[in-house]
Chain A
Amino acid sequence: AQKITQTQPGMFVQEKEAVTLDCTYDTSDQSYGLFWYKQPSSGEMIFLIYQGSYDEQNATEGRYSLNFQKARKSANLVISASQLGDSAMYFCAMRDLSGGSYIPTFGRGTSLIVHP
């Protein structure tokens, strides 16, 4: 069974600084995808970034990058130059890509607050 662990219930960061949100996962699958989503206070879920297990390079999307360490089974989200609008809940998720399961697994989330 897959499992996602987000050990930081809450994080605080100063505006314009970088912040890392931790995500570790557990799976026996060889082929999987890792996702990060942002949920602002308005409630919608916004896709941020994706990393495939066979991707050799870390994914980047603007100010977001995914620090993928396959051997350690970690997929940390790095937000550079934090903005006040980055204050939100952040969820890490994973999906089996080998066809064994069609149910993605989500972590419990990390609440990020950006201070001015």
Chain B
Amino acid sequence: EAQVTQNPRYLITVTGKKLTVTCSQNMNHEYMSWYRQDPGLGLRQIYYSMNVEVTDKGDVPEGYKVSRKEKRNFPLILESPSPNQTSLYFCASSFNNRGSSRGYTFGSGTRLTVV
């Protein structure tokens, strides 16, 4: 089944403890991206990647890192999480950066709470 897999689905952590949210897609998509969703703000892009070893900042990159060493994986790294990073996070992918006529395929989401 074609899908984007995020892990974990839920995570509670403490301020300052490094964490990684994994994202993997099995569709050979070139384009992958991370979003955060906050009430009343919709989805905002954190980082995106056009292909292996090619990443760039989105609208809200502060406090996050990403890497794209393999085409299928695009982990999101929070080096020192803070409470304002408590949010619902989505990974998404598409065949190319345009999203194609089929849109972006989203993962199931990761609900992160930083205390």
Chain A interface residues (CB < 8 Å from chain B): 4, 33, 35, 37, 43-47, 50, 52, 91, 93, 95, 97, 102-104, 106-109
Q: Judge if B86 is at the interface, Cβ distance under 8 Å.
A: no
Interface size grouping (class) on chain B = 20 to 34
Q: Give chain A's interface secondary structure class.
A: strand
Asked if A102 contacts B108 (CB within 8 A), the reply is no
Q: Which residues of A contact B41 (CB under 8 A)?
A: 108
Q: Which residues of A contact B106 (CB under 8 A)?
A: 37, 44-47
Question: Whole-angstrom distance between the alpha carbons of A46 and B42 in the complex?
Answer: 15
Known A97-B98, A104-B99; judge A43-B40 contact (CB<8 A): no
Question: Whole-angstrom distance between the alpha carbons of A30 and B92 in the complex?
Answer: 25
Query: A31: nearest residue on chain B (CB-CB)?
Result: B98
Asked if B104 contacts A47 (CB within 8 A), the reply is yes
Q: Which residues of B contact A93 (CB under 8 A)?
A: 43
